[in-house]
Amino acid sequence: MMKRMALARTLLIDPRVFLLDEPTSGLDPSGQRKLQNIILSMNKKDRAILISSHNLYEVERISDQIFFLKDGKLTTIDSVSEAFDDDEGPIIIDMTLNNLEDTLIDSIINEFQGTNLVSKGKRKVRLSAERTIDKDKFIAYVKEKGGDIVEIKYL
């Protein structure tokens, strides 16, 4: 509620530049979507919005240009899709399984260093990875650990 109140106060001032640090952290999924939609609508009103976030899904959804800090240096990416297509950059893995177990997710995170859980549903899981993962190796590993893959997407 404090985060929502702070944003409401800022919106009343109607600044031309917004600096948001992890804006959706601590919000429930509904609150995250609402805040992301507010950010998208502010962007349409010719506002500069700078967001610092580790949530790659959020960045992908609400940004039209990304800057990465790598080894203390600012790296410019021309588009969101370019950032996620880069062989050295972060990727998102969406997976639907018939038997999604927490132990499988933990095992994947341990096996593929730099992989993190973004979200988990009943049968769906979204993972982020700091670098490209060999798709065949990833699928083979999931199957070896008993994962019954229905669908897998690499974004």
Following DSSP, what letter does each residue of 70-119 receive, concatenated?
A: ETTEEEEES-HHHHHH-TTS-EEEEEEESS--HHHHHHHHHHSTTEEEEE
Answer for the pair 95, 142: CB distance below 8 angstroms, yes or no: yes
Answer for the pair 83, 130: CB distance below 8 angstroms, yes or no: no
Which residues, 6+ apart, have CB-to-CB distance to 91 below 8 Å?
A: 84, 128, 129, 131, 132, 133, 154, 155
CA torsion 119-34-16-45 (nearest 10°) is: 110
Half-sphere exposure of 77 (CA within 13 A, CB side): 21
Is the CATH number of domain 91-154 3.30.70.100? yes
CATH of domain 2-85: 3.40.50.300
Q: Which residue has the higher pLDDT, 6 or 140?
A: 140
Q: Report the pLDDT value the prediction gives residue 79, as an integer from 0 to 100.
A: 56
Q: Report the pLDDT value the prediction gives residue 65, as an integer from 0 to 100.
A: 74
User: How many degrees, rounded to 5, is the angle at CA 38 between CA 36 and CA 41?
Assistant: 110
Q: How many CB atoms lie within 10 A of CB 68?
A: 14
Domain edges within the chain: 2-85, 91-154
Query: Which two tokens mark 38?
Result: 């507010």
Q: Report the pLDDT value the prediction gives residue 149, as an integer from 0 to 100.
A: 93
Q: pTM to 2 decimals?
A: 0.48
d(CA 100, CA 120): 9
Q: How many CB atoms lie within 10 A of CB 32?
A: 18
Q: Report the pLDDT value the prediction gives residue 81, as an integer from 0 to 100.
A: 57
Span 67-123, pLDDT tens digits: 777 677 776 665 555 555 545 556 889 999 998 888 999 999 999 988 888 888 899
d(CA 139, CA 110): 15
Q: Report the pLDDT value the prediction gives residue 141, as an integer from 0 to 100.
A: 95
Span 13-63, pLDDT tens digits: 878 888 888 888 877 888 888 888 888 887 777 778 888 887 766 777 787
Span 114-154, pLDDT tens digits: 888 888 889 999 998 877 788 889 999 999 999 999 999 88
